[in-house]
Amino acid sequence: MAGKRLILGSILSLALGFISWSGTQTAQASCGSVTCFVVIGSQQQVSPKGLLTVNAFYNYTPQGTLLSGTDGVIPAVDLDNRQLILGHHREIRTISQMYTLDLNYGVTDRFGIEVAIPYKRVRHQHVDGLGEANGGAGDLTRFSDNGIGDVLINAKYNLLPTLSSMVVTGFGVYLPTGDHNQKTAGLDGPETMEPTAQLGRGQFGLQGSIYQTYEIIPHRLNQFASASYRHTFRNNFGYQFGDQFDFGIGANLVTVPWLVLTNQFNYRYMVHDSYSASLSRSLTPADAGFPAEALLLDPNITRRGVPTTGSTYFAYTPGFQLNLGEAIKTSLTENTSLYFYSQIPIARDFNGNLAQGVSYVFGITKMFQVMNPS
């Protein structure tokens, strides 16, 4: 028992130490903020009737890697003047942090409701006004924001409730609860922050999902797979986030009753965003009159793809889960578990924008019997 508690305490200390470190670092961000994505069984499954499963997890995602052949120069999405300005920003770094309260309640043994409430912290740093400000070199710009993001309400149904397997389908709605018109100091006064740096998307979204798991060796080894699709409608600024496809596959190994090791592979494909706007281009030193205001290429307000949005990302994600109720027999730890994941990129393409680096997820799950299932 003493040895088990020593190992448990060491793992907890390392995980909590990392979270404390990441929460105190100076953080900047770029216009294309993304988040880490992993498959968490207690979040994907349908809770038994009358059982409330509470997940609280922290997601840390850095975005500051320039891939080969890219320079970090991206267009500006000027919401106030309804224009897309090519070559206007040079991205430096993004740090996205998200704290999510995820509630799953079993209405019946096969049907459940999930409500996910995110609290986001975004830090941003880029060089703004290329070709215009500071002799054409641009001005270093920093901004940040934090608050509630878009809330997800998701209905889930277990198609295959057997002792060794399950298949759960879901259909959810994202509510536009996150702030999407936050302003920051600009060259000519307050400017509305770009959509990808806002806390919310400013419009409703729909999500379909499916999750499958099967016990290969009962109570010892199980595999799982997950897929989801998200669509967001165009907001009042004329901006529409591209469709998002997420896929995950992996396995859980129970080493001892209180320690579960997990390995998974995750793939995400995001379509280019689109913006209804006119089109301009920042001047370069090769242009006559440099530096000066951006050159107008097309005054028509029409739908245009934002070229440095969208991405493909493939990652390996190892992690572990501590079942505290199995390790320490108390009323406080009963039906409680902790988990930690590290998402490591294998292949990635961010269309010239900064690429997502190694990301982390740390969380806790607690189950409460709200109603008698009988």
Q: What are phi and psi of 9, to 5 degrees?
A: -65, -35
Residue 222: inside a domain, yes or no?
yes
Residue 49: inside a domain, yes or no?
yes
DSSP, residue by residue, 93-156: EEEEEEEEEEEEEESSSSEEEEEEEEEEEEEEEEEE-TTTSGGGT-EEEEEEEEEE-PEEEEEE
Distance CA 77, CA 92 (A): 17
Q: What are phi and psi of 102, to 5 degrees?
A: -115, 120
Contacts of 135 (CB under 8 A, 6+ apart): 291
Please, are residues 304 and 327 in contact by the beta-carbon 8 Å criterion?
A: no
DSSP, residue by residue, 252-310: EEEEETTEEEEEEEEEEEEPPPEEEEEEEE---TTSTT-S-SPEEEEEEEEEEE-TT--
Work out how many domains the chain is built from and give that number.
1
Residue 17: inside a domain, yes or no?
no
Residue 24: inside a domain, yes or no?
no
Q: What average pLDDT values come out for the chain (374 residues) when binned by 10 residues?
A: 42 37 31 76 92 96 93 94 95 94 96 97 92 93 92 97 94 97 75 91 97 96 97 97 97 96 97 97 94 96 96 97 92 93 97 94 95 74
CATH number, domain at 302?
A: 2.40.160.40
Distance CA 40, CA 52 (A): 16
pLDDT confidence of residue 230: 98
Please, are residues 6 and 37 in contact by the beta-carbon 8 Å criterion?
A: no
The two three-digit tokens of residue 155, written as one number: 């209905």
- In this structure, the dihedral spanned by the alpha carbons of residues 306, 308, 310 and 316, taken in order and rounded to 10 degrees, is -170
pLDDT confidence of residue 188: 65
Strand partners, 60: 97, 360
Residue 282: inside a domain, yes or no?
yes
Q: Left if phi > 0, otherwise alpha if psi is -120 to 50, otherwise beta: which for 124?
A: beta
Residue 18: inside a domain, yes or no?
no
pLDDT confidence of residue 31: 58
Please tell me the number of Cα atoms within 13 Å of 341 on its side-chain side.
28
Count the Cβ atoms, other than its own, within 10 Å of residue 203: 18
Determine if the peptide bond prior to 291 is cis (ω within 30°): yes
pLDDT confidence of residue 98: 96
Range of the domain at 150: 33-369
* Residue given tokens 């530096």 in the structure block: 291
Please, are residues 72 and 268 in contact by the beta-carbon 8 Å criterion?
A: no
Please, are residues 174 and 207 in contact by the beta-carbon 8 Å criterion?
A: yes
Please, are residues 125 and 92 in contact by the beta-carbon 8 Å criterion?
A: yes
pLDDT confidence of residue 33: 64
- 21-47: burial string, b at 16+ Cβ within 10 Å, e else: ebeeeebbbbbbbbbbbbbbbbbbbbb
Distances, alpha carbon 142 to alpha carbons 181, 224, 275, 335, in Å: 17, 41, 24, 43
Contacts of 306 (CB under 8 A, 6+ apart): 75, 77, 84, 272, 273, 274, 275
Helices (H) and strands (E) in the chain, counts: 3, 20
Contacts of 264 (CB under 8 A, 6+ apart): 38, 39, 224, 248, 249, 250, 251, 316, 317, 319
Residue 114: inside a domain, yes or no?
yes
Distance CA 60, CA 121 (A): 10
Distance CA 8, CA 259 (A): 9
